[in-house]
Amino acid sequence: MSEVIKTDAVIVGAGPVGLFAVFELGLLDIKCHLIDILGKPGGQCAELYPEKPIYDIPGFPMVTGQGLVDNLMQQIEPFGPQFHFNEMVESVEPIGTPEAPLFRITTDAGQVFEAKVLIIAAGGGSFQPKKPPIAGIDDYEGKSIHYAVRKMEAMRGKRILIVGGGDSALDWTLNLQPVAERIILVHRRDDFRAAPHSVNGMRDLVAAGKMDLMIGQVMGLKGADGVLTHAVVRGADNVTHDVAADVMMPFFGLTMKLGPIAQWGIHLNENLIPVGTETFETNVPGIFAVGDINTYPGKLKLILSGFHEVALAAQKAHRYVYPDKKLTFQYTTSSTNLQKKLGVA
């Protein structure tokens, strides 16, 4: 197991609000590690609407979701945030006191952190693969139905049914084709949103007889004890076929699920974390909740609200990280001290 990482602050979620938290905490000399289950920064902006324009970021008449994330990444660079992607924060255990909080934070990859403050910027929760609502799917998950494959070798010699038409579906099709006994790609239309080069790669394999493409939808599953034997596919002609398969991998995009946050000992109100509007601290001293995940009277789920929240939360966080230091209010325009931290003075 990897060593325990000791740091000032751990931020759960690298969405726009988690990213800007790095900036506000950084100005106060608080060092951050960010953890996100996604493989990239930006949360909803990067995952759900990278190309769409946002019109209500102060100072930007228009910026795209990805554009905003790129700018935030540039803005926080001087503070050297450490990112841990593709990991979900699973547990949070208080090991300090209310006056001097300390938390042991563990991810699903087994990485352990010790931090003086915990900033929950988890938005709508962890991004997780959407599960197709096929009757009985639960029984097969983990055994015959996978949303990702960690060890390609485990797929050797299997008949794999891949469902979907986006990049994930096509990438897995191309990656698994050499090891699988047979790949059957099922998509509802003969048109793919995935990158053209992977679509072409797939079409070449089909033309060479090295895999199958079926236009249709998976309506049901056949097998026993979690071991799949057939998927019931309804073709474009509305006729259903039993397609023999050992493994099915459905790719229907991602959805946000609260995930393990409910077990961290903080109060929740309908999957949101209630906070006060002075410090955005939760009922547990040292744990803050900012952005879409929190709730308070008048809360608006806007990026700009999240930005405001992290500025105030950082002030209180400073007291825990530097109990003996007094904070003086400074502007980035005029304070050489702040400008040094930003690497511009």
Ligand X SMILES: Cc1cc2nc3c(=O)[nH]c(=O)nc-3n(C[C@H](O)[C@H](O)[C@H](O)COP(=O)(O)OP(=O)(O)OC[C@H]3O[C@@H](n4cnc5c(N)ncnc54)[C@H](O)[C@@H]3O)c2cc1C
Contact 51, 66 (CB under 8 A): yes
Question: Which CB sits closer to another protein, 130 or 222?
Answer: 130
Identify the residue among 116, 146, 159, 187 touching another protein (CB under 8 A): 187
Instruction: Answer yes or no whether residue 13 interacts with ligand X by CB under 6 A.
Output: yes
Question: Which CB sits closer to another protein, 44 or 107?
Answer: 44
Identify the residue among 58, 61, 133, 196 touching another protein (CB under 8 A): 133
Which amino acid, 258?
L
Instruction: Answer yes or no whether residue 49 interacts with ligand X by CB under 6 A.
Output: yes
Shortest approach of another protein to residue 277 CB, angstroms? 24
Residue 343: Cβ within 10 Å count? 9
Shortest approach of ligand X to residue 269 CB, angstroms? 16
Per-residue CA distances from 47 to 3, 104, 126, 245 (Å): 31, 29, 12, 31
The burial class, CB within 10 Å (0-12 / 13-18 / 19+), for 167 is middle
Question: Which CB sits closer to ligand X, 255 or 279?
Answer: 255
Q: Cα 270–17–107 angle (5° rounding)?
A: 70
Shortest approach of another protein to residue 236 CB, angstroms? 10
Q: Which stretch binds ligand X (CB under 6 A): 7-15, 23-31, 138-146, 167-175?
A: 7-15
Q: Which stretch binds ligand X (CB under 6 A): 191-199, 229-237, 256-264, 327-335?
A: 256-264
Q: Which stretch binds another protein (CB under 8 A): 107-115, 126-134, 201-209, 318-326?
A: 126-134
- Report the partner that residue 16 touches, choosing among another protein, ligand X, none (CB closer than 5 to 8 A by kind): ligand X
Instruction: Answer yes or no whether residue 35 interacts with ligand X by CB under 6 A.
Output: yes
Instruction: Answer yes or no whether residue 215 interacts with another protein by CB under 8 A.
Output: no
Per-residue CA distances from 91 to 4, 32, 105, 110, 321 (Å): 14, 18, 6, 10, 21
Nearest by Cα to 120 from 21, 263, 255: 21
Contact 123, 43 (CB under 8 A): yes
Residue nearest to ligand X according to CB distances in the complex = 123
Contact 328, 335 (CB under 8 A): no
For residue 191, what is the enclosing H or E element? none
Contact 248, 231 (CB under 8 A): yes
Residue 225: Cβ within 10 Å count? 8
Q: Which stretch binds another protein (CB under 8 A): 78-86, 252-260, 262-270, 288-296?
A: 252-260
Binding site for another protein (CB under 8 A): 48-49, 52, 130-133, 164-166, 187-189, 191, 193, 217, 219, 252-253, 255
Binding site for ligand X (CB under 6 A): 12-18, 35-38, 43-45, 48-49, 54, 56, 88-89, 121-127, 259-261, 291-292, 301-304, 306
